[in-house]
Amino acid sequence: MIDTLRTIAESSGADFEIAGFTDPTYSAQPILGVPCIGTDAALSRLVHAMRLTHFMVAVGSISGGSVLRARLFAAGEAAGLEPFTAIHPSALVAGSALIGGGSVIMAGVVVQPRTKIGRNVIVNTRASIDHDCLIGDHVHVAPGAVLSGGVSLENGCHVGAGAVVLQSLRVGQGATVAGGATVVRSVGAGATVMGTPAR
Ligand SMILES: CC(=O)SCCNC(=O)CCNC(=O)[C@H](O)C(C)(C)COP(=O)(O)OP(=O)(O)OC[C@H]1O[C@@H](n2cnc3c(N)ncnc32)[C@H](O)[C@@H]1OP(=O)(O)O
């Protein structure tokens, strides 16, 4: 995520600086030269002291029910920060696609027309989201996953690395599609499915 933000700044000449990151205990080492600036609990104080303006949730998920990601997103907004939306310059995002606040579109991603992506979503490296998809909030589409046209992903679900979801199917709230799975029928809320066809 840090690298994506730096690439955006370099390629667009955008004038922003990454001030740092928070963690639960203020014990983390710098990451790619970016320092830990305090605990998650100190965020409101840091916003005022350091005149911070924007935030992103840098925690991923490897399964559905992105409770932590949703909680951190709410905390950032409650601290008065605006969600930063990051689209890597190598991503191809159709002009009619909508990307919600705080979402990150990583390198090599393709997002096709009329797709709508919610807030605090990770569309990870080289994932492909085809036309007319509807992606909820706090979702993680992991590297190389493929969503066919008209797929719906409800809030907080996780589509694993290299998984394929066939056209017009729905993946329910907080559900997990395992890495490499092929989803051939809709997935219920909170379920975990794996394999080809996914069960
Ligand atoms: C940049 C990044 O790295 S982003 C992160 C990318 N990573 C992902 O997207 C990973 C998504 N997560 C997965 O695929 C996980 O394997 C999960 C969530 C589906 C299952 O995780 P767990 O509940 O911990 O399952 P666990 O590892 O205990 O395995 C349970 C069984 O499922 C099988 N299994 C686990 N994952 C898969 C899979 N992707 N496909 C098929 N079978 C699987 C295991 O072999 C095991 O089978 P067994 O009981 O016969 O031995």
> Which burial class, exposed, middle or buried, applies to 151 when counting CB atoms under 10 A from its CB (0-12, 13-18, 19+)?
buried
Which CATH number characterizes residue 32's domain? 3.40.50
CA 17, 77, 69, 91 dihedral sign is negative
Distance CA 66, CA 50 (A): 29
Q: Which atom in ligand 1 lies closest to the alpha carbon of residue 163?
A: 9
In a domain, 68, yes or no: yes
Q: What is the structure's pLDDT at 62?
A: 83
Q: What is the structure's pLDDT at 14?
A: 85
In a domain, 26, yes or no: yes
In a domain, 51, yes or no: yes
In a domain, 146, yes or no: no
User: Comparing C-alpha atoms, which of 123, 85, 129, 91 is closest to residue 111?
Assistant: 129
- Kindly list the catalytic residues: 131
Q: Is the pLDDT of residue 195 over 80?
A: yes
Q: How confident is the model at residue 63 (pLDDT cuts 50, 70, 90)?
A: confident
In a domain, 14, yes or no: yes
Q: How many CB atoms lie within 10 A of CB 14?
A: 9
3-51: pLDDT as tens digits: 999 999 999 888 899 999 999 998 889 999 999 999 999 999 999 999 9
Which residue range(s) make up the domain with 36? Answer: 2-83
- Ligand 1 pocket test, pick from 88, 141, 194, 196 with the greatest ligand atom count within 8 Å of Cβ, gives 194
- What phi, psi does 78 have (nearest 5°)? -65, -30
Q: What is the structure's pLDDT at 154?
A: 98
Q: Would you say 176 and 63 are in contact if contact means Cβ atoms under 8 Å apart?
A: yes
Q: Is the pLDDT of residue 156 over 90?
A: yes
Question: Looking at the 3D structure of the chain, how many domains does it have?
Answer: 1
Q: What is the structure's pLDDT at 171?
A: 98
- Name the residue at shortest CA distance from atom 5 of ligand 1: 62
In a domain, 126, yes or no: no
Q: Is the pLDDT of residue 65 over 80?
A: no
- What phi, psi does 11 have (nearest 5°)? -80, -25
- Ligand 1 in reach of 62 Cβ (< 6 A): yes
Task: Give every CB contact of residue 163 below 8 A, 6+ residues apart in sequence.
Answer: 142, 145, 146, 177, 178, 179, 180, 181, 182, 183, 198
Q: What is the structure's pLDDT at 147?
A: 99
In a domain, 39, yes or no: yes
Say how many Å lie between the CA of residue 178 and the centre of ligand 1: 6
In a domain, 11, yes or no: yes
68-126: pLDDT as tens digits: 999 999 999 999 999 999 999 999 999 999 999 999 999 999 999 999 999 999 999 99
Q: What is the structure's pLDDT at 158?
A: 97
Q: What is the structure's pLDDT at 9?
A: 93
Distance CA 73, CA 76 (A): 5
